[in-house]
Amino acid sequence: MVRVRQVTYEADGQVLVGTLAVPDVPGPHPGVLIGHEGPGLDEIQRARAAQLAELGYVGFALDYHGELAPFPDRDAMMARLGELFADPDRTRTLGLAGLQALLDEPAVDQDRLAAIGYCFGATVALELARTGADLKAIVGFHPGLTNVRPADSANIRGKVLMCVGADDPMVPATHRATFEDEMRAAGVDWQLHVYGGVQHSFTHPWASAADLPGLAYDETAAGRAWRAMLGLFDEVF
């Protein structure tokens, strides 16, 4: 059994509402921050908090759009993401606010923390790590791998795992190579898992419903990436 509740907090001028899930057994438990995809915090990501709590973690699905989502159209969403991508400090502020909301839960072991993210949520997790936050693991699923201040990756303290589809048009091989160079230069303990024949948003069961080229759910790859994440958690926690 797990206990799930909504948590309201503020950051970047937005009222944000995340989902917190706590194991219904005595703690403290490792805490996992969850960053949603670009369109916004949906029921799939809220459910991931409970899924992690069932495994013995405190899961917090942060919200980095607030009342801006759902967006009226894809152009509005991309404009919002473009603003955040261009301004890492804003993105980090949103990540830090989510992390504080997680830390405010008494059942969290504050020495055992991780951040995971999906799509731009992985960017939020990485930018949070670039602040020097004490995260033991940072995991991204179909993440963006470029950023405007790569030198800040020297501040990353935890182990990094990024899971990418080989046929993801939004994360081409050139981006993967740039990311590898960045991690090497920063001295980070990193892994990059590339899944053959897999496209963007491969972990999201509703991806194909968007009817956009390059987006497709892949149950096998999603399972492999989830198990890789859990393996890293076992290692660091």
In the predicted model, is pLDDT for residue 155 greater than 80? yes
Tell me what the mean pLDDT of segment 204-217 comes to.
Answer: 88
Lookup: tokens for 204:
């999201």
218: domain range? 2-236
In the predicted model, is pLDDT for residue 27 greater than 90? no
Q: Tens digits of per-residue pLDDT, 54-92?
A: 999 999 999 999 999 999 999 999 999 999 999 999 999
Question: pLDDT confidence of 23, banded at 50, 70, 90?
Answer: very high
Helices (H) and strands (E) in the chain, counts: 6, 8
In the predicted model, is pLDDT for residue 205 greater than 90? yes
In the predicted model, is pLDDT for residue 190 greater than 90? yes
DSSP H or E stretch at residue 165 = strand 159-165
pLDDT score, position 212: 81
pLDDT score, position 94: 98
C-alpha angle with apex 149: 12 to 146, nearest 5 degrees?
95
pLDDT score, position 60: 98
Question: pLDDT confidence of 1, banded at 50, 70, 90?
Answer: confident
The tally of domains found in the chain comes to 1
Q: Is 83 helix (H, G, I), strand (E, B) or coil?
A: helix
Q: Tens digits of per-residue pLDDT, 110-119?
A: 999 999 999 9
Distance of CA 176 to the CA centre of its chain: 17
Q: Tens digits of per-residue pLDDT, 214-231?
A: 999 999 999 999 999 999
Question: pLDDT confidence of 144, banded at 50, 70, 90?
Answer: very high
pLDDT score, position 209: 80
pTM for the predicted model, two decimal places: 0.97
For 153-189, b/e burial (b = at least 16 CB within 10 A) is beebebbbbbbbbebbebbeeebbeebeebbeebebe
pLDDT score, position 147: 95
* Cross-strand partners of 21: 4, 59
**CATH number assigned to the domain comprising residue 186:** 3.40.50.1820
Asked whether the CA dihedral 141, 132, 183, 81 is positive or negative, the reply is positive
Tell me what the mean pLDDT of segment 43-48 comes to.
Answer: 95
In the predicted model, is pLDDT for residue 201 greater than 80? yes
Q: What is the chain's mean pLDDT, rounded?
A: 96
Residues 6+ apart with CB under 8 A from 71: 39, 40, 65, 77, 80
In the predicted model, is pLDDT for residue 210 greater than 80? no
